């Protein structure tokens, strides 16, 4: 099994968020996972102007680092999303990645995958970011298994304790992937979402042929 950590902190390897991501990956490794990490700050990922090429052609029109990263994400079995709190939510780097994966919602691009999220803050909103990132995973078709958020400014030892929680989260993630663990509420969400988009995708076939072909390949429509 392969699990990728994606770090949205502008501080990259030096960030507190990276420490949590690394701890999750360490826990996953203990359970037999092959792990990798991506620092978004090291990549050239540009904003797009809603060109809709991903919907219409099934590919990204931008020649930057996003298409390669997206393929890497879709090839993984699990994802760990991490971002510090910037103005009460994720960083610009993480939001840019999320926005570039817009077609993944209709395509349920992460269907069958599992994930989790981590966040660090000075004193607030870390749990809000964890909830948001797990929501993103779920909207893209993945199954989030939990998260760890920590406010480092309140307690100098909080990050160390959170790293232990993150290692346990990594073990949970790897075990969920290995056993194909079922989470009934999330599965019910995915079924409702798929039912909703079945009609959307079928009706939008002329405008979104790439998405329609993906649904046919998955035998979600025929």
Higher pLDDT, 56 or 182: 182
- The confidence band for 196, taking pLDDT boundaries of 50, 70 and 90, is confident
- Cβ atoms of 170 and 26 within 8 Å: the answer is yes
Which of 75 and 206 is assigned the larger pLDDT?
Answer: 75
Share of the chain above pLDDT 70, in %: 84
Distance between CA atoms of residues 62 and 83, nearest Å: 24
Q: Could you state, in order of their start, the residue ranges of all structural domains in the chain?
A: 2-182
Tell me the CA distances in angstroms from 192 to 30, 67, 142, 187, 197, one per residue in order.
Answer: 35, 29, 14, 9, 9
Write down the CATH superfamily of domain 2-182: Flavodoxin domain (3.40.50.360)
pLDDT at residue number 56: 64
For 55-92, the pLDDT digits (tens) are 666 666 677 899 999 999 999 999 999 999 999 999 99
Q: Which helix (H) or strand (E) holds 19?
A: helix 16-30
The pTM for the full model equals 0.90
């Amino acid at each position: 099994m392969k699990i990728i950590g994606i770090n949205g902190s502008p501080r990259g390897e030096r960030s507190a968020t990276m420490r949590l991501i690394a701890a999750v990956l360490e826990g996953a490794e203990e359970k037999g996972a092959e792990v990798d990490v991506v620092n978004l700050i090291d990549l050239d990922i540009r904003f797009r102007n809603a060109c809709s090429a991903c919907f219409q052609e099934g590919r990204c029109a931008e020649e930057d680092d996003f298409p390669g990263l997206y393929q890497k994400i879709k090839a993984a079995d699990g994802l760990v999303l991490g971002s510090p709190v910037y103005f009460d939510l994720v960083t610009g780097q993480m939001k840019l990645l999320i926005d570039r994966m817009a077609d993944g919602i209709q395509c349920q691009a992460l269907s069958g995958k599992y994930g989790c999220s981590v966040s660090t803050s000075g004193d607030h909103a870390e749990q809000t970011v964890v909830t948001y990132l797990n929501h993103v995973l779920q909207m893209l078709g993945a199954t989030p298994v939990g998260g760890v958020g920590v406010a480092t400014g309140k307690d100098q030892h909080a990050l160390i304790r959170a790293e232990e929680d993150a290692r346990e989260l990594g073990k949970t993630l790897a075990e969920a992937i290995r056993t194909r663990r079922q989470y009934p509420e999330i599965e019910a969400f995915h079924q409702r979402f798929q039912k909703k988009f079945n009609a959307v995708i079928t009706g939008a076939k002329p405008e979104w042929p790439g998405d329609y072909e993906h649904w046919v390949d998955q035998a979600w429509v025929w």
